[in-house]
Structures are given as C-alpha cells and as structure tokens.
Structure 1
C-alpha cells in the first residue's frame, strides 16, 4: 500500500469535504436536528468549522458567508425553504444528547 503524500492527502480531504457538502445540499429533507441527534454535528457546525479555519488563515469571512458556502444559499433562504419545526421527540433527543462545549 502506498500512502498519499501530504499534498495528495490534502486534495483527497478537500474532495471528500466537497462531496459531503454536496450530499448535504441534496438532502435538504434531512433536518439539522436529525444530524445533531444522530451524528453530533450539523450543517451549522460544519459552517462554523469552516469559519474557524478561514479566520485562522487570516481570511475575513463572516458567519453568514460561511453558512452560504455550506448551504449553497443564504441560511434564511434555506430555513424558509427546508426547515421544519422540530418535533417534541427530536427536541427531547437533542436535549439528552446536546454537545457539551
């Protein structure tokens, strides 16, 4: 087995990230609360991680801009088009499994 070089690894990780973002954009039926309850992260988390990394690199990116990169549209537009009210069961599961920061 030949391990990828550091540059190849970065390219592979970037491609995997782009594929994840594309997948999440195409699965707007999957709500953020479902992602949080099952995986412990959601689209907002991903956009926050993106923003943190951009700021570490000295880029002047806003929270709204990082969300638009992840959602493929403004967060407000995504919410109005795709977000549903969380059920009591979803809210209860979220409170039980809420990440501790």
Structure 2
C-alpha cells in the first residue's frame, strides 16, 4: 500500500472532494440524471453523503445546507438556472439502471 499518514490521506481525500465539487459546479451542462445513468450517483447523492457524515459527527446541518455546500447555491436556484426536463430516453435509462430490489 502507501506510506501516507492517516492525516495525509484525509487531507488528500478532502482536496480531491473539493476538486470534484468544483468540477461539478462548473459542469452545469451535465444533468444529475446523466450522472445517475452513467455513474450511479449525482450531486444530490454527494450532498446526502455529506449530510450523513455531518450527522454521524453530531454537526447541526440540514439537507438544504448540505445541498447548498455541494451546488454552491440554494438547490432551488440551481434547478431554475441549470436543470432541464429529463428526456424520455434519460428517464428510461434511469429506470433500467436502478438496482433491482
């Protein structure tokens, strides 16, 4: 494996996370449904994971606040500015890619 300290690993993971968040903020042309269809996660998933970590640590954070941290603005504002209506093919791909229960 690697010779990184736990502190270095955490620092580098945080840097990679910040870079991913910034990348997703810049790529407003990429819709959440496209991310879900291709990668199985989207900006909302990322904000939910952030919220889960905050809750596990006992930090007072709301869903709206975690989304704003990921989107860089209130979620409703982002949706108005950047989210288009999903096409029938996007919706079909989303349904096909859902895990079977």
Q: Give TM-score, length-normalised by structure 1.
A: 0.96
Give the aligned partner of residue 96 of structure 1.
96
Cα deviations by residue, 1:38-81 (Å, 9 ceiling, x for unpaired): 00000000000000000000001000000000000000000000
Give the aligned partner of residue 46 of structure 1.
46
Give the aligned partner of residue 85 of structure 1.
85
Gaps of 5+ in 2: none
Contact residue 40 and residue 99 of structure 1 kept, 8 A: no
Give the aligned partner of residue 31 of structure 1.
31
Q: Aligned-pair distance for 1:3?
A: 1.9
State the Cα RMSD in Å: 1.4
Question: Are residues 1:65 and 2:84 paired?
Answer: no
Paired with 1:77 and 1:31, the residues of 2 have a C-alpha distance of: 15
Q: Give TM-score, length-normalised by structure 2.
A: 0.96
Runs of 4+ off more than 6 Å? none
Contact residue 51 and residue 66 of structure 1 kept, 8 A: yes
